[in-house]
Every structure is written in structure tokens, then in C-alpha cells.
Amino acid sequence: MKPVVMKKKSSQIATYLKSLAHPQRLHILCYLAEGERTVSEIQDETGISQSQVSQFLSRMKVEGMLGSRRDGRSSLYKITHNPLKKLLKFLTVSFAA
């Protein structure tokens, strides 16, 4: 890999790892690895307040991890980065008791 490409990829990977290092964001991401979810569904699953869920989702969307689409009055969120989705599925299976 060329140094310029490696530098760009390293920065992106570090950003993803920062989100994975936060327990609440990791919980959201693991839940989203199973499929598309609304903010309400994420809130119910995680017990995190609606405002904090929205902040986390917005941040992860800007970071390129998530995408969203409108369905009536709801927004559905999903992981758009397939390598991240594969990593999350690996982690959840590897650490399942």
C-alpha cells in the first residue's frame, strides 16, 4: 500500500476504533449490525436517552459509518461500511458466552 493511501486509511480506521472504544456507541453499532433500526428501537435496546442516541448516530454518520433513510416520520439507520459490519459480527460472536 502506498504511504499516502496508508495514511488516509489509518486515519479512518483510528476514527472507527474510537467509536468502538466507547461502550454505548459500541452497543449501538452491534445492534445495527443486525439490521436497520429507528432511533426509538435503538433507545429501547440500549437504554440511552433519545438525545444522546441522536448525537451518537449523527457523529457516526458524519464519520462515514452509518447511513439513514426516511420512512414516513421515522429515520432508519444502518451500517454502510461492510468491513465494519463484518468486524462487529466477528466481535459479537467471539465474545458471546
Number of separate domains in the chain: 1
Residue 51 — pLDDT band, cuts 50, 70, 90?
Answer: very high
Bridge partners, residue 70, by sequence: 75
If DSSP codes are grouped into helix, strand and coil, which group holds residue 89?
helix
Give the pLDDT of residue 19: 86
Q: What is the mean pLDDT of residues 36-62?
A: 96
Residue 97 — pLDDT band, cuts 50, 70, 90?
Answer: low
Cβ 3 vs Cβ 12: under 8 Å = no
Q: Which domain holds residue 39?
A: 3-94
Give the pLDDT of residue 78: 97
User: How many residues would you count in the chain?
Assistant: 97
Dmax over CA atoms of the chain, in Å, equals 45
Tens of pLDDT, residues 9-44 = 898 888 889 888 999 999 999 999 999 999 999 999
State the CATH number of the domain containing residue 64.
1.10.10.10
